[in-house]
Amino acid sequence: MTIAKVPRETLANALGADRIATELAKEGHEVIRTGSLGLCWAEPLVEIDGIAYGPVSDLAHLEAARIGPTGEIPALTRQHRLVFDRCGRVDPFEYDPAPIRAHLERAPADILAEIEASGLRGRGGAGFPAHIKWRTVHDTPSDRKYVVVNADEGDSGTFADRLIMEGDPFRLIEGMLIAGRAIGADTGVVYLRSEYPLAAEVFSEAIAAARGMGLLETFDIELFIGAGAYICGEETSLLESLEGKRGEIRAKPPVPAIAGLFGRPTLVHNVITLCAVPAILEHGGAAYAELGVGRSTGTMTFQLAGNVERGGLIELPFGVALRELIEDWGGGTRTGRDVGAVQVGGPLGAYLSGAQLDTPMTYEALAAIGAGVGHGGIVVFDDTVDLVQQAHFAFAFCAHESCGKCTPCRIGAVRGKETVEALIASERPEVELAIIADLCDVMEQASLCQMGGMTPIPVRSALGLPQGGD
Amino acid sequence: MDQAVSAREIAERHTGRIGGPITALREIAAEFGYIERAHMEGVADAFNLTLAEVRGIVGFYSDLNTEPRGRTHIRICQAEACQSVGARELTAAAVARFGAGLGETAADGSVSLEAVYCLGLCTTGPAATVNDRIIVRATAEALAS
């Protein structure tokens, strides 16, 4: 009897993993459904007695898809996996709760000190120091406090939240439990987008299993499924949505850490931020802070996507150069052409040119060129990319997804889209470019949230306009 | 059964729950295929909201459709990672093939097309769904099969 590991993960399933698992079981293998290892280019990636094969289209051609021993695949061994250390290697439901029980014995002040020492910053996009949020919620008196997880992973080019929730859902539960213990919350809510039905299924099973193990007795977790709105990834819009309303953003202050869900102090974090927490307690905040560069501490779950030969999830300490990710890890473009542009950090992220690929992936280095890490998504385009079309899309997307609460975003996005259309037909493009530059300044400075406030970033970078504020 | 009554029954399962009205409306859309005025009245009643508030919620979220969909409902990702590998061309081919634009249903009711912004399958685009079956590296032929 041999052990065969087959991912139970959306992409692998779309490419036949369920069928392959059934066939392997029929052949007499003991089949374990794991998560994905994140080597998306090799899905469905099947491991039989420690040897990885992928992509496996059918078992008759297994040998042709041989990669080698899983423990020796450079694309895995060269990673530094803290968040994704278990994902893809094990059946997530063969779970040992002893380590989390030990973490939950620790005093809140002790946990808060570790988070501060780690230098952990939000992985959802803003990069705000986690410990400040934790301490604010902790220090704000209230009859009730919440931990809210933002799993509304809407940025194109990102799938880390989905992979971890499908492949290691207990990692997120652990992060939520530790956060709840540290800040004094008794309720956790996960806001998951409706585009991720398998993540919902697996995470629901994990909540039930955790409850069965007695892990949710003083802190319970509820899963809420969104209804299709990119803006609900903005934390105040997400809170409105959890209250059952239109996802219109709230003006800040007050920040959610002081008045969040139902007006109570609420710790809102992205999935990956909380999933880093168990590793921080395991290895110690100081050890975590030694990874990375400067104030960009720890590991980042980069997601390489778009027109790339070997796309997938790459967890590395901050500081790796964009070029290394795209060329060494990704093998260049899928079409084999030169890289034309790279959008880093989702639809509100900058389009970087080939000349900017040596930028190290840190919060600071990207900010210095008017870009951002965002949620770690890297979307590669080849040299056929039409950047004016991409600027048009940035405005069109903002117009489609704007919650409508503030004028610069609601009206500005529509006018921006029309002006790019005029630019395409224009004989004097400098006229339209000046209007767009002006409009971008207004949106950036006067929008209530980052939807309108950051749409100028992809627009300006795509059109070669200087980023504002300097 | 009276539509408002059925909608109210679904809604009452979610009163007092986080995001209750949205979950109720999602279930109603799944149960009846789309949301109509009588359903919204049932939800308004159950949650003690005005019809205008419920309409506001329905209008905000793209999953809460108020028109029937085609027998085959196809969603094609329009976001950047899929654009970089031909989502625009795929969309144009699908529109020509199925006789419906994005957000439209073909005249014979066979197929409806919808834009979706990211399915989290960004390494293997263009991504699409056909009645919730996921298609990666999609072509118009694959969407038709």
pLDDT tier at A470 (50, 70, 90 boundaries)? very low
Q: Are A118 and A134 in contact (CB under 8 A)?
A: no
H or E element, residue A151: strand A146-151
Domain B72-144 -> CATH class: alpha beta
Determine whether A394 is exposed, middle or buried from the number of CB atoms within 10 Å of its CB (0-12, 13-18, 19+): buried
Q: Give tens-digit pLDDT for A252-311.
A: 999 999 999 999 999 999 999 999 999 999 999 999 999 999 999 999 999 999 999 999
DSSP secondary structure letters along A241-264: HHTTS--PPPPSSSPTTTS-GGGS
Q: Which residues of B touch A380 (CB under 8 A)?
A: 84
CATH architecture label of A387-463:
Up-down Bundle (1.20)
CATH superfamily of A98-289: NADH-ubiquinone oxidoreductase 51kDa subunit (3.40.50.11540)
Min Cα distance B72 → chain A (Å) is 18
| Residues linked to residue A225 through DSSP beta bridges, in sequence order | A192
Mark out the alpha helices in B19-133 (DSSP H runs): 20-32, 37-47, 51-60, 80-83, 87-98
Say whether A343 and B132 touch across the interface (CB within 8 A).
no
Say whether B84 and A307 touch across the interface (CB within 8 A).
yes
**In the prediction, which pLDDT does B1 show?**
57
Mean pLDDT to the nearest integer, B56-62:
98
Q: Name the residue ranges covered by the structural domains of chain B.
A: 3-60, 72-144
Mean pLDDT to the nearest integer, A59-73:
96
Q: Is the pLDDT of residue B19 over 70?
A: yes
Q: Are A173 and A191 in contact (CB under 8 A)?
A: no
Task: Give the separation between CA A153 and CA A168, rounded to whole angstroms.
Answer: 17
**In the prediction, which pLDDT does A1 show?**
72
- The chain-wide mean pLDDT, for chain A, equals 97
The CA distances from residue A186 to A109, A143, A210, B17, in Å, are: 17, 10, 15, 16
Strands B133-135 and A187-192: unpaired
Q: Is the pLDDT of residue A125 over 90?
A: no
pLDDT tier at B145 (50, 70, 90 boundaries)? confident
Q: Which residues of B touch A343 (CB under 8 A)?
A: 80
Tell me the two tokens of residue A195.
Answer: 């585009």
Min Cα distance A311 → chain B (Å) is 5
Q: Give tens-digit pLDDT for A397-424.
A: 999 999 999 999 999 999 999 999 999 9
Task: Give the separation between CA B126 and CA B82, rounded to whole angstroms.
Answer: 5
The CA-based angle A126-A129-A135, given to 5 degrees, is 125
Q: Which residues of A touch B25 (CB under 8 A)?
A: 227
Q: Is the pLDDT of residue A213 over 90?
A: yes
Mean pLDDT to the nearest integer, A128-142:
98
Tell me the two tokens of residue B46.
Answer: 């159950």
Q: Which residues of B touch A159 (CB under 8 A)?
A: 120-123
Q: Are B125 and A306 in contact (CB under 8 A)?
A: yes
Helix-strand-coil split of chain A, %, nearest 5: 45, 15, 40
Say whether B19 and A10 touch across the interface (CB within 8 A).
no
Strands A377-382 and A299-306: parallel
Q: Give tens-digit pLDDT for A310-343.
A: 999 999 999 999 999 999 999 999 999 999 999 9
Say whether A379 and B125 touch across the interface (CB within 8 A).
no
Determine whether A220 is exposed, middle or buried from the number of CB atoms within 10 Å of its CB (0-12, 13-18, 19+): middle
Q: Name the residue ranges covered by the structural domains of chain A.
A: 3-77, 98-289, 291-382, 387-463
Which residue among A159, A246, A312 places its CB closest to the CB of B56? A246
- The model carries a pTM of 0.97
Mean pLDDT to the nearest integer, A431-439:
98
Q: Are A265 and A259 in contact (CB under 8 A)?
A: yes
Which residue among B22, B64, B85 places its CB closest to the CB of A241? B22
Q: Which of A15, A156, A390 to mutate to test the interface with B (most CBs of B within 10 A)?
A: A156
Q: Which residues of B touch A12 (CB under 8 A)?
A: none
Q: Give tens-digit pLDDT for A297-306.
A: 999 999 999 9
Between 3.40.50.300, 3.10.20.90, 3.10.20.600, 3.40.50.2300, what CATH number should domain A291-382 receive? Answer: 3.10.20.600
